[in-house]
A and B are shown apart, each in its own frame.
Chain A
Amino acid sequence: MKTIWLITKRELNSFFDSLTAYIMIVLFLGFSGFFTWISGSDIFLIGQANLRAFFSIAYWTLFFFIPALTMRLIAEEKKTGTIEQLLTKAVTDRQVILGKYLATIILIAIALAFTFPYLITVAKIGNLDAGGVLCGYLALLLMSAAYTSIGLFASSITNNQIVAFLTSLFIGLFFHIIFEIIAGGMTGMFGQIINSLSVTFHFESLSRGVVDSKDIVYFGSIIFLGLFLTEVSLAKRNAYS
């Protein structure tokens, strides 16, 4: 556990030192703030005291930002060879993966925490549904955790960051919209199965304010599968980097 935290601290420092963290936070707040308060179907247009507008924007911004955060995590270390220096120290592959994973989740949580003023503002305007907001944040965090594990896997299969970014977006796209679209054209059992694979389906059910164990299990499975595959792909190392 101590070792995992060490790796996490190093990764977080690296996020902040390389400005990645600041750029990510500023862009995230900029995009979501703009569409929540100023343009499109913003809060004033809807005229309800909830954060629905923000959640549906964050749903897309995070989808694009997470691969950008995860793409370098393992790919860069593979390219420079530092992964070898790291893994020949007293750490296991799993500790390294979990450390990097945790660092990304913490960074996303920090970015989400900066939207706290939105919450206060809306609460001042009208009667805020606290449970709904909480569930919305939970849904965003779970979705981020799922995409981070996919991103980490994409980063572990290549030493090229761009390839990692695109692979992660490509895999993510299936969960984000493609399954939903396919399911839309189908009926019956099969359509339902495909639909239950879609992140949108579970995200919406969660952010409506209903915490269903099915949704938690769904996100948990993606997280577990992503991390498991990352470990498998990291174990398949070649002597030549």
Chain B
Amino acid sequence: MDIVIENLTKKYGAQKAVDNISMKVATGEILGFLGPNGAGKTTTMKMITNYIAPDEGKIFIGGKSVSENPQEIRRNIGYLSENNPLYHDMPLIDYLSFCAEIQGIEKSRIPGRVVEMIKTTGLNREKHKKIGELSKGYQQRVGLAQAIIHNPKVLILDEPTSGLDPNQIVEIRKLIRELGREKTVILSTHILPEVEATCDRIFIINKGRIVADGTADSLRKQAQGSEILRVKIEDGQPDQIYKALQSIKSVSMVEFADRNLNRFDIHCDSSDVKREIFRLCVDKHWVLTELTPFETKLEDIFRELTMN
């Protein structure tokens, strides 16, 4: 099932929490939803799950309007909301059975489904406890289990890895990737490496507006413009090397990174520059001891797009 959002707007008082957002998520795609706190991620997700109604705009899941077919659509959505609220006084197994039954799973299939979920999310050792007795990481797994117990075609996960330790984060990411093979997944997060590790596409919003949409690589290219190389050249005068580097055609700027060690940062437009630097060094009998391309980090792109 694909998700189509058209001109979504939600206001709280005079403030627009979500401002005219449109997007499409294809079936089987994992979309990473990024943005600083208060950007409107959670509000958008609440509107997709039809918990709150948008002021303007429409949401279609599998071609059907969310507001017109709420019950049908909800059976096809698995939702893990922010802060993972659970009934702490309920035993884990009872809770999962309750969730399965309420989502309309046949009674005879429920015990099997619950066991399967407990296995998938690695809760086997904790299965006889009450939810309130579980640690935060395990509670997060319960939250994930209740979201996928009815095998929904769409998964909406609001910060699924918050509060987990590094090992658990890796496991949950793996699980999400597996689920994402056949399901459409939207997940929101603050953790940027997580998006790169799990998502096919990144969607950045700021103050309710879309500021970027694309794969991690395409965002990098878009943000970068020029490539940066760090080189270290030995056996030559710094100023001489500086001038020679600057005379290379496609180099736009050369900076001293460390004058004493003959290290330079080269801003350039094409990838031919590496070859030319090499040739230059051969001609002048200099020794090239370092040549590192600098990748723009996703963090930098994020900061650039969402500051001010």
Contact = CB atoms under 8 A, between A and B. Distances in A.
B89 A14 contact: yes
B197 interface: no
A214 interface: no
Contact of B146 (A10, A85, A90): A85
Interface stretch (A43-51, A76-84, A145-153, A161-169): A76-84
Interface in A200-241: 237-239
A92 interface: yes
Contacts of B86: 82, 85
Contacts of B103: 89-90
A226 B103 CA distance: 28
Contacts of A84: 46, 51, 81, 85
Q: Main SS of chain B's interface residues?
A: mixed
B87 A88 contact: no
A91 interface: yes
Interface residues of A, number: 22
Contacts of A87: 51
A90 B81 contact: no
Interface of B: 10, 12, 17, 42-43, 46, 49-52, 70-71, 74-75, 77, 79, 81-83, 85-90, 94, 98-99, 101-104, 146
Contacts of A82: 85-87
13 contacts: A7-B102, A14-B87, A81-B81, A82-B86, A85-B85, A85-B146, A88-B49, A88-B79, A90-B71, A90-B74, A92-B71, A238-B52, A239-B17
A127 interface: no
Nearest to A95: B102
Nearest to B83: A81
B142 to A, nearest CB: 11
A85 B145 CA distance: 13
Interface in A12-37: 13-14, 17-18
B85 A81 contact: yes
B51 A3 contact: no
Contact of A239 (B12, B90, B101): B12
Contacts of A237: 51-52
A10 B49 CA distance: 23
Contacts of B104: 90
A74 to B, nearest CB: 14
Contacts of B43: 239
B26 to A, nearest CB: 23
A223 B98 CA distance: 28
A18 B98 CA distance: 18
Contacts of B82: 81
B27 to A, nearest CB: 21
A237 B74 CA distance: 18
A229 B87 CA distance: 25
A89 B89 contact: no
A96 to B, nearest CB: 10
A53 B120 CA distance: 59
A89 B85 contact: no
A10 B91 CA distance: 11
Given A89-B102, A90-B104, 14 more contacts: A6-B101, A10-B90, A13-B90, A13-B94, A14-B89, A17-B89, A85-B85, A85-B86, A91-B102, A238-B12, A239-B12, A239-B17, A239-B42, A239-B46
B98 A6 contact: yes
Q: Give 3 closest A-B pairs by Cβ, nearest first.
A: A81-B85, A82-B85, A88-B49
Nearest to B82: A81
A237 B75 CA distance: 21
Given A90-B104, A239-B46, A85 B71 contact: no
Given A88-B77, A239-B42, A18 B102 contact: no
